[in-house]
Amino acid sequence: MTDSSGVVSVSPQPKSSTAARRLRLRSLIILPFLAQMLAVSGAIGYLSYRNGQRTVETLAEQLTEEISQRIDENLRAYLAPTQQIDRINAIWVKQQQLSLNDLTSWEPLLWEQVQTNPDINFIKITNPAGQQRTGEKLANGDLRINVIDTQTNYDFHSYKTDDQGNLKELDVSFPTPDTREGAWYKDAVMAGQPVWSSVFISFLEDTLLVASATPIYSPDNQELLAVLNSAIRLNSVGDFLNDLEIGETGQAFLIERREQGKGSLLATSTDEIPFRGSGDERELFPAIESQDSVTRAAVEELLQDNPDWGRLDQGSSVRKFQIEGRWYYLQAHPLQNEPSLDWLIGVVVPEADFTIQIRRNTQNTILLSLGAVALTTLAGLLIARWLSQPLEQLTHASQAIASGELQQDIQLSPLAAQEVSQLAVSFGIMSDQLQDSFATLEQRVVDRTQELNQANLSLQQEQAKAEELLLNILPGAIATQLKESPGTIAELFEEVTILFADIVGFTPLSNRMAPLELVEFLNSIFSSFDALADRHGLEKIKTIGDAYMVAAGLPKPRQDHAQAIADMALDMQAAIAHIRDDQGQPCQVRIGINTGIAVAGVIGTRKFIYDLWGDAVNVAARMESHGEPGHIQVTHQTYLHLKEQYQLAERGRIQIKGKGELQTYWLLGRAGCESPLTAPVVVHS
């Protein structure tokens, strides 16, 4: 109503009504925050759960696939040396370097080859006449040469050997069926190409074996020349599976699927032995009869859809199955690129290995969501109170005006005014703080960039050291090829020259000197030899004890390979003449040189070494061992390369083991230089 003064008078509302309106205002402020937070928390929880499930499936598929591929690659790399040996021996057969009618000449080669890999059990060659030579490594590491030929009346004779591979005494002999009636021989001849045998148990040790058989035919009329046969142990496969990290508690197994295998268990990452019985009663058993419950259940799962194993030929996706209420992921696929090996690789990973961390993350998400809801509610209450106080002051003022008290000095509370002014101040402070923060952050970025640059420089330096170390181990071209295409590297060189050198009197010297002094003494000699090899552009192959081996004409062929080796040998004589032993006596070396065909390369998967193989290498070693102290003995092949530019003396024909009599010469010096030899010799220009 209006009074005489013109002031509008409004009666104030009851306090309870004001309190109700205040409550509704606070509710309108709080409820949107609370509803949004509950919706967001629920959505986050649901998405977290769904993403966790998909993550588990993805991780299981990726892990099992990665493990399967790793097993596949390592299996093929493990079996590769067996076929590599067969390929090398096939080269010898095709080049007619060794006799196929009398296999005696094969004995040193087989004796050497059977030592190249600790898992090789035996290497044999059989000619169509039924004659056979076998290099065999027993369980205790002893080496044997086994013979079947006319001299043994085609009985099996096994000979012990000395440390040079020479036959010492007959160890075992017994009648044996015609070796050509063996399944490995018939399968290889029938296939006309390299084949793998079924897995079988070794007669001499508790391990499984698998053998490759390779028929060699004449390139002219396809006449069968020989059948090569090599066997490798599979106990290292089980050790490899056992060392794999397959999640927390995952497993892997290997099965032979071919008909005679009947799904036999070959290897597993558990401690289970892949055969039963003892002595002559040992036998393989089906993987479905495994004592390990996880392996047995996984095989049962595979056989449900594949009773004959046939549907797994093209690989398999990850499948999920249950064991005693626990879920597992399984992936199985056949061994790749080995068609005659019908092996199946299986990887099993428990779902729990993946879900433990996901469950923890889900629990943490729920706890964080509940905490966020509580904090949001509390914050809403405080904000509602802070916003409602100035409004309450205005409400009281409006009620006073409505009641007729027009002279109202309406002033907001100091808190409200301070809040407005403080907002501007806060923005100013915030801007200053942001500038300071950005400046600090920018400086941190600069510092971090410098750290990363320094780390990158250190990494480049370490990489350069690694490259330098690799080049100290392997030739540059071979190191590059090995990095670009990992695997076996082998190359045939038509003409190379090999030098073997041996320190004269090293055995008594080693007995007199302390081990550390002996090593330092050898290091001083071989370091000078290394420097000479670098100067002449030669390829150092290796050192064995006090022996030193160097070659020219590989890995890059060169025309002056024989001349480069000759210069190296003469410089080695000059260098060793300045070195004194512990008694002050001059040192001497015995040097042998030969020129011919050789195979060079890198085999195996660990501790690489660039090595040579071939008859030319063996003859070079014989030139050194049959030489004289302080002399350089060369073969007739090397003589033909050197006779125009160097002084040589005819030594005559000497008996060489495995080669008969060979014509040899002494290398005296370069043409026009005084000969270092004092013994009367016949010099040929």
d(CA 609, CA 364): 53
| Domain with 129 in it | 98-233
pLDDT of 387 reads 60
Residue 571: predicted pLDDT = 93
**Distance (Å, rounded) from C-alpha 352 to C-alpha 325?**
11
In whole angstroms, give the CA distance from residue 471 to residue 464.
11
Strands, E, within 519-588: which ranges? 539-544, 547-552
In a domain, 460, yes or no: yes
Q: Is residue 106 part of a domain?
A: yes
Is residue 175 in a domain? yes
Question: Angle between the 352-402 and 414-473 helix axes, to the nearest 10 degrees?
Answer: 160
Are 457 and 536 part of one and the same domain? no
What interhelical angle do 15-94 and 352-402 show, nearest 10?
160
Do residues 464 and 592 share a domain? Answer: no
Residues 562 and 677 grouped into a single domain: yes
Residues 649 and 570 in one domain: yes
One-letter amino acid at 347 equals: V
> 484 with 467, same domain?
no
Q: List the one residue out of 361, 378, 372 whose CA is nearest residue 39.
A: 372
User: Which of 233, 255, 289 represents a domain boundary (last residue)?
Assistant: 233
Residue with tokens 């390592």: 74
pLDDT of residue 649: 92
> Does residue 498 sit in the same domain as residue 428?
no
In a domain, 340, yes or no: no
How many distinct structural domains can be found in the chain?
3
Supply the CATH number for residue 576's domain.
Answer: 3.30.70.1230
Structure tokens at 259: 């008909």
Q: How would DSSP label each residue in 44-70?
A: HHHHHHHHHHHHHHHHHHHHHHHHHHH
CA dist., res. 392 & res. 382, Å (int): 15
Q: How far is CA 194 from CA 190, 216, 278, 289, 476, in A?
A: 10, 9, 32, 32, 33
Query: Could you say which of 186, 209, 233 is where a domain stops?
Result: 233
Residue spans of beta strands (DSSP E) within 539-587: 539-544, 547-552
User: What stretches in the chain show pLDDT beneath 70?
Assistant: 1-30, 33, 41, 45-53, 258-262, 308-317, 356-359, 362, 380-402, 404-439, 441, 458-490, 604-608, 673-685
Angle at which helices 561-576 and 515-535 pack, to 10 degrees?
140
**What pTM was computed for the model?**
0.48
What's the pLDDT at 396?
63
**Does residue 445 sit in the same domain as residue 530?**
no
* In contact, 233 and 207? CB cutoff 8 Å: yes
Which alpha helices (H) appear in 233-351, and where do they start and end?
235-243, 293-305
Question: What is the Cα–Cα distance from 551 to 572, expressed in whole angstroms?
Answer: 14
Q: Does residue 515 sit in the same domain as residue 644?
A: yes
Burial category of 122 from C-beta neighbours within 10 Å (exposed 0-12, middle 13-18, buried 19 and up): buried
Q: What share of the chain is helix, strand, coil (3-state, %, to 5)?
A: 45, 25, 30
- 310 DSSP assignment: G
Residue 98 to residue 84: CA distance in whole angstroms = 18
For residue 368, is it within any domain?
no
pLDDT in tens, 631-685: 999 999 999 999 989 999 999 899 988 888 999 999 999 887 655 543 333 333 2
DSSP letters for 587-628:
P-EEEEEEEEEEEEEE-SSSS---EEESHHHHHHHHHHHTS-
Is 203 inside any structural domain? yes
At 55 the pLDDT is 72
Q: Is 462 inside a domain boundary?
A: yes
Residue 256 CA from chain centroid, whole number: 24
Residues forming beta bridges with residue 173, ordered by sequence position = 157
- pLDDT of 131 reads 93
Give the end of a domain, one of 233, 256, 271. 233
Task: Give CA–CA dist 594/96, Å, rounded.
Answer: 19
In this structure, is residue 427 part of a structural domain?
Answer: yes
Structure-token pair, residue 517: 């002094």
Verify that 550 and 669 share a domain, yes or no.
yes
- 619, 661: one domain: yes
* Amino acid type, 258: R
**447 with 495, same domain?**
no
